[in-house]
Amino acid sequence: MSELDVSENVFSEKRYFLNHLDSYHGEYFLKAVARAAAAAALRDKEAAGAGAEALGPEDEPFEPPPPDQPTEIIGTVSDNAIEVLPGVTRIIPRDVALRRMLTCGHVVIDISLDRGELKLAMDYMALLKTLLEKQAAAIEDVPSDAGDTTAPPAERRYLILVSTVMTWASTKPLDPDSPDLPFVETDFRKRKPHPNYKMHYDTENAVIELARQHKKQIGAIVLTAGMTYGGKEDALFYWFQKAWECEPVLPILGRGNNVIPIINIQELAQIVNHLLTDFPKKLYILAVEQNETRQKEIVKSLAKSLGTGLFKCIPPEDGFLIPEIDQRIYDLITLNLLMEPVFIAETVGISSDATFAENLPALIKEFKKLRGLKPFKVVIHGPPLVGKTTLARRVCESYGLVYVSPETVVQDLIDDLVELKPSKCNVAAQQELVWITGERPLGESTCLASPESRGWVLYCNVILTLMTNVPSI
């Protein structure tokens, strides 16, 4: 057995484990753990230097400590083809993951995205409980007069379970007369899970029980996250994608008045970093934003800022007819739950007052950058009767673009100006009307194509001077 194999099987408080490194959360959690590990290494270095400087001239010469264990970040991936990831010491096969996890001083397990990670979490919890019980029994068996030298070395562990607010989905209001009263962390004993998330609920309880029974050996905490958004997007990807592709209408499942607890993925990673750096004496933490965010506010702002501007309510069950909306996304987008984060607002300092709609321009910019999206704008110019209309329509069908022509723009502008009330005909409304699309399907209202949308195709007989700033292809 090589020296590397031996070190892999030895417990190290400087070894960090993360599951599902190639997931939407994994990329951000990896950066958070790397920052926490670097900060811990710096603190250890400064502490060692301070200890050497504290010795006086008459003290015994300072003996350097034994060779220290290196900082390592290991984890699992769902794609077996991935063998190396930047910043990861080793990618661990799932068949040996449990054994390796027991050697890690810090373990972060995310069960919020993939139900397949629940088995890993529960199996690890069972093994860890057995190990901690054996260690506790060994410490108790040491005679009181034997001194500390014979006692087993202390192995302080830290565990963060990243779960989902769906474990609260069926919780009854705290006060039937005040249904708008939000839940806080201390209400976690009253939570009732969604029927699809009972295993998540059981896993959370296993962590809480472990933290209570072995608090001298382990610091364990449940971090319950709201629906995450930002970056490449996850649960909201369908709505971002369809808005970018200028889908005529974005769907709202139901009336859209349900309050969805949400959290930006970067803020969630910041919370993980804070917990690893300064582990609190807590059992349960809510990672949600303070602002109330309703489903219709999300879809409406996306439609106006990125898409055609149109949205409509559909029966919730019709959401299952949309292939891109799976059971997890459906459960999250139809959730109605009011929560108030206390710990992160007071301790971590994440208390932005900006709403989802106010943050949307930055989110759109980030989404397009990470997805490599660029607006595709085409001007088709030529003499009459050469097939400009046919070509323009086929290009729009192939690339999902908005069809625009001078005639329909003028007619749509006239129609909308007639419908506008004089008090609302302001500069902002006039600027918005510039993006009215062309030809309207029979029975549908005019669509507004946002400047942030995927693009459009304009055909004309004469290129107007106003269009000279349109990029060519």
Residue 248 is predicted with a pLDDT of 86
Residue 180 is predicted with a pLDDT of 87
Tokens 């918005």, residue located: 432
**Residue 127 burial (C-beta neighbours within 10 Å; 0-12, 13-18, 19+):** middle
Name the β-bridge partners of 230.
none
pLDDT band of 130, cuts 50, 70, 90:
very high
Q: Which of 85, 96, 108, 83 is nearest to 32 (CA)?
A: 108
- Encode pLDDT of 319-332 as tens digits: 999 999 999 999 99
Segment 443-449 mean pLDDT: 41
Q: Which of 30, 8, 14 is nearest to 105 (CA)?
A: 14
Segment 258-270 mean pLDDT: 96
CATH topology of domain 3-55+65-141+150-231+259-292+339-353: Rossmann fold (3.40.50)
Res 449 pLDDT > 80: no
Q: What single DSSP character describes residue 470?
A: S
Res 126 pLDDT > 90: yes
Q: State the alpha helices, DSSP H only, in 142-264.
A: 198-213, 237-244
Tokens 């300092």, residue located: 349
Reported residue count of the chain is: 473
CA 322 to chain centre: 22
Give, for 457, the enclosing helix (H) or strand (E).
Answer: strand 455-460
Share of the chain above pLDDT 70, in %: 78
The answer to whether the CB of 31 falls within 8 A of the CB of 86 is no
Q: Edge-to-edge, what's the strand order for the sheet holding 218-225?
A: 90-91, 72-75, 12-18, 104-110, 157-164, 218-225, 284-287
Q: Where in the chain is the domain with CATH 3.40.50.720?
A: 3-55+65-141+150-231+259-292+339-353
- Alpha-carbon distance 202 to 121, whole Å? 11
Segment 436-447 mean pLDDT: 36
- Alpha-carbon distance 101 to 36, whole Å? 18
DSSP 271-320: HHHHHHHS--S-SEEEE--SS--BHHHHHHHHHHHTS-S-EEEE-GGGGG
Compute the half-sphere exposure of residue 88: CA atoms within 13 Å on the CB side of its CA. 23
Segment 296-305 mean pLDDT: 96
- Encode pLDDT of 84-97 as tens digits: 999 999 999 999 99
**Residue 354 burial (C-beta neighbours within 10 Å; 0-12, 13-18, 19+):** exposed
- Alpha-carbon distance 287 to 223, whole Å? 7
- Encode pLDDT of 70-85 as tens digits: 899 999 999 999 999 9
pTM of the model: 0.81
Res 193 pLDDT > 70: yes
Segment 250-262 mean pLDDT: 97
Residue 87 is predicted with a pLDDT of 93
Residue 119 is predicted with a pLDDT of 96
